[in-house]
């Protein structure tokens, strides 16, 4: 567990991953760190360490990377953008996009010169295809369907619907790199599949564009400049040192990084929503036409996969044990036991605005897709807007320890209490 949480954790039994009841949660006021103490408590992404290399090098694991046609790009959003270029759609063509989305998903459509049109979701997160109206004058040419949270689902109904209407299916596997999606392996339903490597591996960037049956046309990606390549190596090592990894080497690198950062203030993670005009600008689409950094390609080639799945499943199970029977929050789905390699634990929170604000102030490894693309419609019965409001995503990557996850869960339980605002520390945004 991170040092700044040890005292608070020990005082209320944080060191145990056992279930805490509603009554037990109400009995304690937990002293939690301020944002100034917690900015580096929990890594928000996988961290390179010597243990990252344990296991067989890059052993084959069922998932999107097993597709026969594939190419690495800089990010998941770059993979989406490149997928649209592969389809060679007419400028202004309509692309169906889910109402529950990260803005970068929609930005990839816009940057490719296409027009996003939003579709509603069922309670399980799959497209509600029966409620999608197809305009005869401007029918959609492509559709993005995501495996949310790393919980893969069969896309047979969607695949059949797309085939019936002549729509290309883009299977967004940004949250779901490994596993089985019903009758097929993840990534094998779409005309193209896209993925984000930086969500699963300790790399500074990288996305994957792949296909089960469509060879990729040459993409003519621009090579990054030497300065960017060097910065990529530095970023990986500095992130590791900041989180106490690479023992031995870190003692040499730490003073070097400290000298490099003299006079540079660390910027805290912001929980504010961008203004509508700033959404596209905030999506960082500048490198969608470049090839990924050497450090990302090299680490992707040599890092083992097995422990990634094992650790993520362990962390997911810890979250599940903590939130059983807790008032004001619940696991989003009941059928989440058999998850291959989850990206996050999706938690439905009744009073999500207050709880999420406090969780972010505490530096907890959580986030929420509450920033939607301007013009996203509100449709009665659509799950998308409900998830934007109520679902908090709890990171469960392999470099969060069981103690980290348990501490996060118990801190969130503290935040769920109606009186939590008075018990939590004040936060300075100076």
Summarised one tens digit per residue, pLDDT across range 404-426 is 999 999 999 999 987 655 455 43
pLDDT digits (tens, 9 = 90+) for 156-205: 999 999 999 999 999 999 999 999 999 999 999 999 999 999 999 999 99
Residue linked to tokens 């290399």: 53
Q: Please, which residues have CB within 8 angstroms of residue 75's CB and are 6 or more apart in sequence?
A: 104, 196, 198, 205, 206, 207, 287, 288
What are φ and ψ of residue 194, in 5° steps? -125, 150
The reported pLDDT for the residue numbered 21 is 38
Share of the chain above pLDDT 90, in %: 75
SS3 of 178, please?
strand
pLDDT digits (tens, 9 = 90+) for 91-112: 999 999 999 999 999 999 999 9
pTM of the model: 0.86
Per DSSP, the residues of 366-417 read: EE----PPTT----TT-HHHHHHHHEEEEE--TTS-HHHHHHHHHHHHHHHS
pLDDT digits (tens, 9 = 90+) for 11-65: 323 333 333 333 343 333 334 444 334 444 799 999 999 999 987 665 667 899 9
Per DSSP, the residues of 115-171 read: EEEEE-B-TTSSB-GGG----SSS---EEEEE-GGG-----HHHHHHHHHHT-EEEE
Q: Which of 221-225, 378-382, 386-390 has the lowest mean pLDDT?
A: 378-382
**Overall average pLDDT of the 386-392 stretch:** 97
**Overall average pLDDT of the 119-127 stretch:** 96
């Amino acid at each position: 567990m991170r040092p700044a949480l040890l005292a608070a954790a020990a005082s209320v039994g944080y060191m145990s991953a056992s279930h805490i009841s509603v009554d037990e949660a109400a009995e304690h006021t937990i002293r939690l760190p301020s944002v100034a103490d917690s900015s580096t408590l929990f890594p928000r992404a996988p961290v390179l360490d010597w243990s990252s290399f344990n296991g067989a090098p890059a052993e084959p694991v069922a998932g999107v990377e097993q597709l026969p046609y594939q190419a690495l790009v800089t990010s998941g959003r770059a993979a989406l953008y490149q997928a649209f270029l592969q389809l060679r759609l007419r400028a202004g063509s309509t692309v169906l996009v889910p109402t529950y989305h990260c803005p970068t998903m929609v930005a990839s459509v816009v940057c490719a010169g296409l027009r996003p049109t939003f579709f509603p979701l069922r309670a399980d997160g799959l497209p509600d295809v029966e409620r999608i109206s197809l305009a005869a004058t401007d029918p959609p040419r492509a559709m993005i369907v995501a495996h949310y949270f790393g919980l893969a689902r069969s896309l047979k109904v969607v695949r059949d619907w797309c085939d019936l209407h002549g729509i290309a299916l883009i299977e967004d596997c940004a949250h779901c790199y490994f596993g089985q999606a019903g009758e097929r392996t993840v990534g094998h339903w779409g005309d193209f599949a896209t993925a984000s490597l930086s969500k699963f591996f300790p790399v500074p960037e990288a996305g994957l564009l792949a296909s089960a049956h469509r060879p990729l046309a040459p993409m003519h990606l621009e090579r990054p400049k030497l300065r960017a390549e060097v910065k990529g190596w530095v970023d990986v090592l500095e992130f590791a040192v900041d989180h106490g990894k690479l023992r031995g080497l870190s003692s040499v690198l730490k003073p070097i990084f400290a000298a490099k950062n003299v006079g540079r203030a660390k910027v805290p993670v912001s929980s504010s929503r961008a203004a509508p005009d700033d959404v596209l600008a905030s999506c960082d689409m500048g490198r969608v036409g470049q090839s990924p950094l050497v450090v990302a390609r090299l680490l992707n080639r040599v890092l083992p996969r097995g422990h990634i799945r094992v650790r993520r499943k362990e962390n997911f199970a810890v979250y599940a044990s903590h939130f059983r029977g807790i008032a004001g929050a619940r696991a989003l789905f009941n059928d989440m036991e058999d998850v291959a390699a989850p990206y996050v634990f999706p938690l439905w929170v009744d009073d999500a605005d207050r709880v999420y604000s406090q969780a972010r102030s505490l530096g907890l490894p959580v986030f929420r897709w509450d920033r939607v693309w301007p013009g996203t419609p509100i449709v009665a019965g659509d799950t998308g807007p409900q998830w934007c409001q109520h679902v908090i995503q709890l990171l469960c990557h392999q470099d969060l320890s069981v103690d980290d996850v348990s501490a996060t869960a118990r801190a969130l339980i503290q935040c769920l209490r109606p009186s939590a605002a008075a018990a939590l520390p004040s936060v300075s945004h100076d």
